Amino acid sequence: MRWYEIKYEQLGEKIILTEFDSFIISETLECGQCFRFLKLNHNDYMIIAHHKVLRITQDDEKIIFYPTNESEFETVWIPYFDLKRNYNYIKDILSDNDFVLRDAVLYAPGIRILNQDFFEGLISFIISQNNRIPRIQQIIQNISQRYGDKIEGFDNCYAFPSVEQLLEADVSALMLCKTGFRAKYILDAVHKVNTREINSSEINDLETRELKSTLMKIAGVGDKVSDCVMLFSCGRKEVFPTDVWVKRVMQYFYFNNQPVAIQEMQDFAKKHFGEYAGFAQQYLFHYARTLQIGKK
C-alpha cells in the first residue's frame, strides 16, 4: 500500500496527529532539504512555509501542529509534509537486499521528503552552492526580511518573497543580504521566472529531463541545484542529487572507495533505486553527513 488516509483531530487551533509512522520532525527538518526552521526544544520546531508560521511539537504518542485548522491542514500541511505517503513501503523496498540503505534507513527512520514551494526552492538551492547550511539559512532570512511580507502575529517572521517582490532586488542589495557571487544568479532566476521562460505553472507538465534542461538555462543552476529543486520543490522523487556527501558515501560503500564519475553514480542510482532514488538520496545524505562518512 503506497498511500493511506491519515487520522487526526482538531482541538482549538491545534491539529493533533496520533497515528503516524516514519515521521520524526527533527530528522525531517534537519536532513538538509529545508532551510526555514527554528529549533525551540527537542522535537519542537517553528517553520515558515507557504506564508505561514507553524509550530510542530512531537512526543512518543503524538505530533501537534499549531496554529492551524482542519482545512488548512488538509490543503497546506498534509501535502507539505507528504503525510499520506507510506514511507514504510519505500523503506522496505530500499532496504531489501541493500545493507547500506538498510543501515541508512535505520539511522534516520523519520525522514520525510517535504514538498516545498517551487520559487523558494529554486532561489534557496541557488544560494546553497558552495555554502554552509547555517549561512544559507541566514541569507534566506535576510532576503525574506528585506523583500517578503511580514507574517502577522509573529515577531521577526517574514514569508519568502514572491517573484514580483524580488523584481525589486538588484545586485548591490542582494550583496547586502550576503548572497555573495550568487546575487547575479538569483537575479537571472527571478528574471526567467518573471518572463515565463521558466513557467512555474507549467512545471508539472514537463518530463523530468525536459524540466532539468529548462532549469539549467538559469545562470548558476547546474546538475546538483536543478536536481535539488526537482526533488524538493517539484515532486520529482526519482532524481538523485549528487553532492559531495552523496558522492563520498556512494564511493565509500558501492564503489570500493575508488574515484567514480558523477554520471556513473547517477546511472547506478537510477538502476538500483529506480523511482525511489530521491528517498535513497536523502537517507544516504543524512547518514553520510552526520557520520562524516568518506571524508578524508
Partner DNA sequence: GCCCAGGCACTCA
Partner DNA sequence: TGAGTGCCTGGG
Is 133 a residue that touches DNA (CB under 7 A)? yes
Q: Comparing C-alpha atoms, which of 77, 97, 65, 81 is closest to residue 27?
A: 81
Question: Among 28, 58, 128, 144, which residue sits at the site for DNA (rule: CB under 7 A)?
Answer: 128
Distance CA(207)–CA(184), nearest Å, equals 28
Question: Among 105, 221, 239, 265, which residue sits at the site for DNA (rule: CB under 7 A)?
Answer: 221
Is 26 a residue that touches DNA (CB under 7 A)? no
- Joined grid coordinates for residue 22: 516514519
Range 201-239 burial, b when 16+ CB lie within 10 A, else e: eebeebeeeebbebbeebbbbeebbbbbbbbbbbbbbbb
Distance of CA 247 to the CA centre of its chain: 19
Question: Among 131, 137, 162, 251, which residue sits at the site for DNA (rule: CB under 7 A)?
Answer: 131
CB atoms within 10 A of CB 49: 21
Is 274 a residue that touches DNA (CB under 7 A)? no
Number of residues that bind DNA (CB under 7 A): 36
Closer Cβ to DNA, 32 or 161, answer by number: 32
**CB-based contacts of 4: which residues, under 8 Å, 6+ apart?**
84, 86
Is 120 a residue that touches DNA (CB under 7 A)? no
In the complex, minimum distance from the CB of residue 185 to DNA, in angstroms, rounded to a whole number:
7
Question: Among 2, 41, 71, 132, which residue sits at the site for DNA (rule: CB under 7 A)?
Answer: 132
Of the listed pieces 66-74, 96-104, 223-231, 268-276, which binds DNA according to CB under 7 A? 223-231
Judged on CB neighbours under 10 Å (0-12, 13-18, 19+), 124 is buried
In the complex, minimum distance from the CB of residue 290 to DNA, in angstroms, rounded to a whole number:
11
Closer Cβ to DNA, 47 or 225, answer by number: 225
Binding site for DNA (CB under 7 A): 31-33, 125, 128-135, 175, 178-182, 216, 218-226, 228, 241, 243-245, 285, 289, 295
